[in-house]
Amino acid sequence: MKVLVLGGGGREHALIWKLKQSPRVTQLFCAPGNAGIAHEGATCIPCDLNRLDSIIEAAVKAAPDLVVVGPEVPLMLGTVDELRRRGIPVFGPTQAAAQLESSKSFSKAFMTRHRIPTPLYVQVHAVSEIKSALANFSAPIVVKADGLAAGKGVIIANTREEAAEAAEALLGGSLGEAGRHVLFEEFLEGEEISFLVISDGERVAPLVAAQDHKRIGDGDTGPNTGGMGAYSINGLVDDNMREWLLRHIARPVIDGMAAEGAPYTGILYCGLMMTAKGPQVLEFNCRFGDPETQPILMRLDSDLLEAFEASIEGRISDGVFRWSPDPSICVVMATGGYPGPYLAGKPITGLERANALDGVRVFHAGTDLRDGQIVSAGGRVLGVTARATTLESAVARAYEAVRCISFDGMQYRSDIAHRRLKPR
């Protein structure tokens, strides 16, 4: 079976790595891919993921038996709808279903309609509406752009004035179309959990839960990023909580989307805040998370291809995944400057030594091959991932691998999984 994965980040490298283990996968393609994905033996096809015509061109070229969509932008562009029209089997939600991620106002109104727990919010469309909207909130206040903004669309404002300024900038076009509508949201405190499920439009099965580290700096300081590291361990969500989340969040979403005529197939990523009053949904993503996918797939002992097929063919059941009890962790190595402007083209050394460590996989994100040398080519460069019998040993192994690797200006957090480790 020929499989094409769309994307070129750490998440896609992990997907390719796992799909390669499936006995029925004969050939792998990735558009556009990266140096690590090519090293796995996948054929990389140049592709602009911001353009539907470029995506379709890549898919036609690969002529795959299955397409797996990694990132959100192709979903928002209607890749799944177009591939289905052409008779190409594809794993992921349609454009209408992907509104759960591509439009925060859609997603918030949907959650309100279906009584899914989420923080209070007010939507504004014009500067003149800001003042009265803010009267509903006390500081801190969360300001969100309505559309996709690659992690840059959320501002936590410490005062009403700061919230008003942030909203004005968004409405004034600081993030382009994404900020044409703005939401103010109640600020919640608690631990964030990434709870992912797979659905076939009717049934759902949970994946193991993970925790991301969004801020750039140790101790959760500095600006938000796409995610600087994640881990997955049994008990992060216990059996009772998993049942609760399926019953009050995941299943109501799938039932609600079906009832509204936009059945949801694919991965549904529930970004949760575990508050003192219970879990609340901060956001939905209509895809695997990055970097959560790297540690999650490290724990998957069953065939990923079969899970994708079960979703497409309407056969999702609890048995679709088999998980290892072993914890796993991914440490993201980023370029200096990230999440702001960064320098690319820096040679990376030590990858082989890191990969040779027991239980370690180095997934590539922003990397490129130049004159036979692997160089940095993006903000997030590598996801150094390890699985071991205890979280402590997985963490130690991942950081041992990180220390093997070197490139100019590299930065990484040294405290991934700190909430689950005893203070050193």
Strand order across the 191-200 sheet: 204-206, 191-200, 265-275, 278-285
Partner from ligand GLY, ligand AMP, none binding residue 142, C-beta < 5-8 Å depending on class: ligand AMP
One-letter amino acid for residue 75 of the chain: L
Q: 199 or 285, CB closer to ligand GLY?
A: 285
| Helix, strand, or coil (residue 183) | strand
- Name, in order, each residue with C-beta under 8 angstroms of 394's C-beta and a sequence gap of 6 or more: 231, 326, 327, 328, 329, 359, 386, 387, 388
348 binds ligand AMP, rule: CB under 6 A = no
Could you give the CA distance from residue 14 to residue 298 in angstroms, rounded to a whole number?
Answer: 8
Partner from ligand AMP, ligand GLY, none binding residue 303, C-beta < 5-8 Å depending on class: none
Which position among 283, 290, 292, 309 is part of the footprint of ligand AMP (CB under 6 A)? 283
Q: Binders of ligand AMP among 219-278, rule CB under 6 A?
A: 224, 271
Partner from ligand GLY, ligand AMP, none binding residue 119, C-beta < 5-8 Å depending on class: ligand AMP
214 binds ligand AMP, rule: CB under 6 A = yes
Which position among 82, 185, 200, 292 is part of the footprint of ligand GLY (CB under 6 A)? 292
285 binds ligand GLY, rule: CB under 6 A = yes
Q: 185 or 303, CB closer to ligand AMP?
A: 185
What DSSP assignment string belongs to 339-394?
Answer: TSS-----B-B-HHHHHTSTTEEEEESSEEEETTEEEE-SSEEEEEEEE-SSHHHH
Min dist CB 175 to ligand GLY, Å, is: 16
Q: What is the 3-state secondary structure (H, E, C) of 292-331?
A: CHHHHHHCECCCHHHHHHHHHCCCCCHHHCCECCCCEEEE
Could you give the CA distance from residue 139 to residue 328 in angstroms, rounded to a whole number?
Answer: 37
Could you give the CA distance from residue 5 to residue 49 in angstroms, rounded to a whole number?
Answer: 12
Q: 201 or 229, CB closer to ligand AMP?
A: 229
Q: 88 or 145, CB closer to ligand AMP?
A: 145
Which position among 32, 78, 119, 252 is part of the footprint of ligand AMP (CB under 6 A)? 119
Partner from ligand GLY, ligand AMP, none binding residue 290, C-beta < 5-8 Å depending on class: ligand GLY
Which position among 289, 327, 366, 378 is part of the footprint of ligand GLY (CB under 6 A)? 289
Cis amide bond preceding 32, omega within 30: yes
Torsion of CA 89, 91, 96, 100, to 10 degrees: 180
Min dist CB 248 to ligand GLY, Å, is: 22
Crossing angle for the helix pair 304-312 and 10-20, to the nearest 10 degrees: 100
Which position among 154, 205, 320, 374 is part of the footprint of ligand AMP (CB under 6 A)? 154
72 binds ligand AMP, rule: CB under 6 A = no
Which position among 200, 290, 303, 326 is part of the footprint of ligand GLY (CB under 6 A)? 290
Q: Binders of ligand GLY among 216-275, rule CB under 6 A?
A: 227
Q: 107 or 285, CB closer to ligand GLY?
A: 285
Q: What x-and-dash track marks residues 174-203 binding ligand AMP by CB under 6 A?
A: -----------xxxx---x-----------
Sole residue written with tokens 């005893």: 422
Min dist CB 170 to ligand AMP, Å, is: 14
Conformation bin of residue 352: beta by default, left when phi > 0, alpha when psi is -120 to 50: alpha
217 binds ligand AMP, rule: CB under 6 A = no
Conformation bin of residue 350: beta by default, left when phi > 0, alpha when psi is -120 to 50: left
Q: 17 or 284, CB closer to ligand AMP?
A: 284
Which phi and psi angles does 63 have, rounded to 5°? 45, 60
84 binds ligand AMP, rule: CB under 6 A = no
Which phi and psi angles does 204 have, rounded to 5°? -130, 155
Min dist CB 211 to ligand GLY, Å, is: 10
Could you give the CA distance from residue 239 to residue 39 in angstroms, rounded to a whole number?
Answer: 39
Site of interaction with ligand AMP (CB under 6 A): 119, 142, 144, 154, 185-188, 192, 214, 224, 271, 282-283
Site of interaction with ligand GLY (CB under 6 A): 212, 227, 285, 289-290, 292
